[in-house]
Amino acid sequence: MEVKEIDMSAIQLSKFNTRKDMNAGTEDTGLNDLANNIKKIGLLSPITVVMNKDDKFSLIAGQRRFLAIQKLGWAKIPAIIREITEDLDATIISLVENVHRADMNPIDKARAYKMIFERYDSATKVSKETGVSASTVRKYLKLLNLAPSIQEKITTEGGSLTIGTLSKLGETFPPEEQEEVLEKIGSFTQKVQLEMLKRSEGDLDRMDSLKEQAMEGEFDVHICRGLRECKFIPEGQREFIEKTIDEYKRNHI
């Protein structure tokens, strides 16, 4: 592996680059903003490329940086040159380069994980290759069970519909019912959304009842290791609960 300045004209975008959605991560900062920032302070992180047989280079990580520098009209760009032995290795390197970045589209991550999973047939082995926990890999893989219309809406902004919620949705309901389920759970917190999906057991007919229960606060449960840690309980009620518990212990233990 080496880092050197290479001609921009010698670089082509690679099919193994796991970042497909170039709009992901631009909710706050677009390519123009990135280009202006690079113009002011320079390129802090080199792009990553592999050399092709024709002495050209394929870009496998740093696509937004590359496009931003294209806008600036630079003739050369600092790049890390990697040696690749198999096509999948390029995918793994691209994923590892991007996976810890918050601005990578979740579906791009999920598809890259799937490519690696199909080789090893083990989330644990994918975890070892990427440095991401096996449970996280499984969550992303379940996103691919979502209806195409929902996958298209997933962005890096997240909102109340987190990867955990969407993963559970893809695991619990078939694609044709998922949009309707989203309408019923969308206004609640992630904790409540997950509880509703869990209790539904994949039965769409239960969702209206679960929504009513959620609106009544039935799922807003707080777990404390001790009463003193439960700051949401008013002091007067805490004292009453403590006395009740002490009395119960004296009478039953």
DSSP string covering 76-92: EEEEEEE--SSHHHHHH
Q: What whole-number distance in Å separates Cα of residue 42 and Cα of residue 158? A: 30
For the whole prediction, is pTM greater than 0.75?
A: no
Q: Which pair of structure tokens corresponds to residue 85?
A: 């032995």
Question: pLDDT, tens digit, for every residue of 144-199?
Answer: 999 999 998 886 555 456 888 999 999 999 999 999 999 999 888 888 999 999 99
- Report domain extents, the chain: 222-248
Q: What whole-number distance in Å separates Cα of residue 155 and Cα of residue 83? A: 32
Note the pLDDT of residue 202. Answer: 95
Q: In what order do the strands lie in the sheet with 2-7?
A: 2-7, 76-82, 47-51, 57-61, 11-13
In terms of pLDDT, which residue wins out, 123 or 221? 123
For range 87-95, the mean pLDDT: 69
Using 50, 70 and 90 to split pLDDT, how confident is the model at 235? low
3-state secondary structure at position 59: strand
Note the pLDDT of residue 81. Answer: 86
